[in-house]
Amino acid sequence: MPVLRSLGRAASQLLQSSGCGCGVSLVPVRAIGVSPRQVASDASFHSVTFSESDHPRVLITGGLGQLGVGLAKLLRKRFGKNNVILSDIRKPADNVFYSGPFIFADILDYKNLREIVVNNRITWLFHYSALLSAVGEANVPLARAVNITGLHNVLDIAAEHNLRLFVPSTIGAFGPTSPRDPTPDLCIQRPRTIYGVSKVHAELMGEYYHYRYGLDFRCLRYPGIISADSQPGGGTTDYAVQIFHDAIKTGKFKCYLRPDTRLPMMYLDDCLKATLEIMEAPAEALTMRTYNISAMSFTPEELAQEVQKYVPELQMTYNVDQVRQAIADSWPMNFDDSNARRDWGWKHDYDLPELVTTMFSYLGSDSRIAQAN
């Protein structure tokens, strides 16, 4: 394959002359040592019992976010503790640090990230480093660097070293002109947040690298993810996590979305299960590189009614945040995930009643909940 040396030199000179003061080492276009028709067959692991030598060697970037720790726990149980490396730029809690391999990894440092992949013989990479919707809108330059420049580094390294790459997408990849009820896999997107734009970019770049270089790229569009294991992280759907904490602590919750704002949601365990299933699915079963997945859709009012079965005196008030409301109004109300269910057998386990029961069982036995039960 032709090597883009002249373009790489030109990009390097341009970056050096631009006086970029962001403290990030931007990397020019690199030659990718992968044939356009080559498929990463040596990284093709299916849903079977693995021998010890056949386990994938896994790296998770952005691993201290909402999903990374839970994913590491699931993968370590399946593939072995030492075969799954969690990474982030933050200091992990003691329980996370001692639960398995952890390493500092800055996705904007191409050289260091490449060394990690090579030195640890990585074969699967889960790329979770990203700034979420509301946080990204508050710091667009940082979101652009992390969500787009970081992705480019990961794509190049994954293609060069024949990795199986998973990059999550989101309901935020759709916009106000997208069909909302339901939203199919393939339709107009046009998001209006830097988070959504970066996710559409990731979907298209991953698909391009698959067809151009044979990269085994896999992507799921997550709905709002609800978990008892982490605090809300600045996303538009995080009200559906905060309500449980506030109901237990104070019996009061102030929601920043309108009571009738319907969004697709999913419990964490279903999300992690779907992520492992798409990575283990035989390549020949996949008819696309990016799939919608969903489990349920509900409004803040419907969630509050279910929560009140456990905390009857919950006082629900609304103080609409116009920024987050505008974001939510541009997102799908229901996901059509029929392609995932057909191609690789996706099936969720948690609907709204099971979700609420599970959240309260994890978050503690408050006296109000005990009395209700």
- For the annotated catalytic residues, the residue numbers are 195
Task: Give the C-alpha separation, 58 to 18, whole Å.
Answer: 36
Q: Which amino acid is at 227?
A: S
Task: Give the C-alpha separation, 146 to 138, whole Å.
Answer: 14
Q: Is 97:141 a contact under the CB 8 Å cutoff? A: no
Task: Give the C-alpha separation, 226 to 238, whole Å.
Answer: 8
Q: How far is CA 135 from the centre of its chain?
A: 15
Three-state DSSP string of the chain: CCCCHHHHHHHHHHHHHCCCCCCCCCCCCCCCCCCCCCCCHHHCCCCCCCCHHHCCCEEEECCCCCCHHHHHHHHHHHHCHHHEEEEECCCCCHHHHCCCCEEECCCCCHHHHHHHHHHCCCCEEEECCCCCHHHHHHCHHHHHHHHHHHHHHHHHHHHHCCCEEECCEEHHHCCCCCCCCCECCCCCCCCCCHHHHHHHHHHHHHHHHHHHHCCEEEEEEECEEECCCCCCCCCHHHHHHHHHHHHHHCCEEEECCCCCCCEEEEEHHHHHHHHHHHHHCCHHHCCCCEEECCCEEECHHHHHHHHCCCCCCCEEEECCCHHHHHHHHCCCCCECCHHHHHHCCCCCCCCHHHHHHHHHHHHCCCHHHHHHC
Q: How far is CA 48 from the centre of its chain?
A: 25
